[in-house]
Amino acid sequence: MKQWLLQVAALSKLSVLELYRRKDLVVVFLLAIVILLPAAFLAPFGVSGASRYISELAMLLIWLFSIIIGLGVSARLFPPEFESRTIYPLLAKPVARGTVVFGKYLGALTASVSALLVFYLAYAVLVGVRQGEWFTPILFQAVLLHVGFLIIITALTLLGSLVMTPSAALTLSALTVVGMLVFGQRLPALAAAQTGARRWVLYAIHWFAPHVEFFDLRQRLVHAWPCVEWRVCLAVLVYAVCYAGLCLVLAGWAFRRKRL
């Protein structure tokens, strides 16, 4: 077990280092500052004191950047290794293919979550300075569920990168994530409004596609609505772990069957 943990930790570390070496985080962070800083000084009609618009803008950027980083990191886990053939020395070591998949996944997740925590820390400081509210319980819930979101999307993209080309995996994952964020809540109503095959396709999407909209607490956070019940929070996190687990099992199976 200890040996397995050491192997997983070593593989994860590589993915984390990769993110920070590529300076993706610095770029998106600077971009966020460039967008938010002028907006923060806006005094519409000469009236100052509005703060929700800046929170909403900041949250939108956090979500956008977390999707970009999460998908980017997980889509780049295996394809470059196949292309540069560095996967062979890795597999020549006494490490199971399943362990490689899980270790790399954990690395991608750790890298994405570490970037997310930096974003949320900056957000908390911004909100704290502007509104005087530091680290509210709803912010804690928002971070927790956002981590759940990353658990799902990194697993999904990793699976995609093993069964299709990297660009196809990235595009399809991005479409799925954005599509579910926008339409996920309305899928039953949309399906009910259709007839025939379209209706059943929509119901299938509703039942089997990843409901990433569960993890979106922006509205509650920005408009200061009360926290979500903790049992619901737990249910959502269990959903994330189960969905990611299923994706990883399929990814492990695909990696074992892959002809290298």
Partner 1 sequence: MTQYFQHALVAVGAIVTFAYGQLLPHLFAGRMPQVLGENVVAMLLGDARQEISFALLEKADDYFHGGMRHAECDHELTGAPGKESENCSCAEDGHAHGHDHHHHDHDSDHHHDHDSASAPYGLSFDPWRWINRRVHVQEHRHAEGEDARELLPWLWAACRTSPRNIQAYESSAYVLSRMLKRPHDALKLLEEGVRLNPTSAELEFSLGELALHSLKDPTRAEQAFAAARAKCKPEPGEAGEDARFLQGRILFYLGYLAHQRGDHNQAVGYLAEAIREVPEHVGTRDLRNLLNRQHEDEGKEP
Least separation, in Å, of the C-beta of 140 and partner 1? 15
Residues in the chain: 260
Element (H, E) at 220: helix 218-222
Neighbour count for residue 194 (Cβ, 10 Å): 13
Instruction: For residue 70, give the amino acid letter.
Output: G
Told to check if 52 binds partner 1 by CB under 8 A, we report yes
Residue 17 as a binder of partner 1 (CB under 8 A): the answer is no
Of 90 and 190, CB closest to partner 1: 190
Q: Which of 159, 162, 236, 247 is close enough to bind partner 1 by CB under 8 A?
A: 236
Asked if 116 contacts 66 with a C-beta cutoff of 8 angstroms, the reply is yes
Q: Please answer whether residues 177 and 94 qualify as being in contact, where contact means their C-beta atoms are separated by less than 8 angstroms.
A: no
The span from the CA of 160 to the CA of 74, in Å, is: 9
Q: Are 79 and 248 in contact (CB under 8 A)?
A: no
SS3 41: coil
239 part of the interface to partner 1, by CB under 8 A: yes
CB of 178 to partner 1, least distance (A): 17
Give the Cα separation of 207 and 191 in Å (integer).
11
Instruction: Single out the segment in contact with partner 1 by CB under 8 A; choices: 74-82, 168-176, 199-207, 248-256.
Output: 199-207
Among 1, 92, 207, 259, which residue sits at the site for partner 1 (rule: CB under 8 A)? 207
Kindly report the number of other CB atoms within 10 A of residue 10's CB atom: 13
Tell me the closest approach of the beta carbon of residue 143 to partner 1, in angstroms: 15
Does 121 contact partner 1 by CB under 8 A? Answer: no
Using rule CB under 8 A, residue 156 touches partner 1: no
Residue 188 lies near partner 1 (rule: CB under 8 A): yes
CA atoms of 61 and 136, how far apart (whole Å): 20
Judged by CB under 8 A, the number of residues near partner 1 is: 37
Q: In the complex, which residues of this chain contact partner 1 (CB under 8 A)? A: 42, 44-47, 49-53, 145, 184-185, 188-189, 191-192, 203, 206-207, 211, 213-217, 219-220, 222-223, 225, 228-229, 232, 235-236, 239
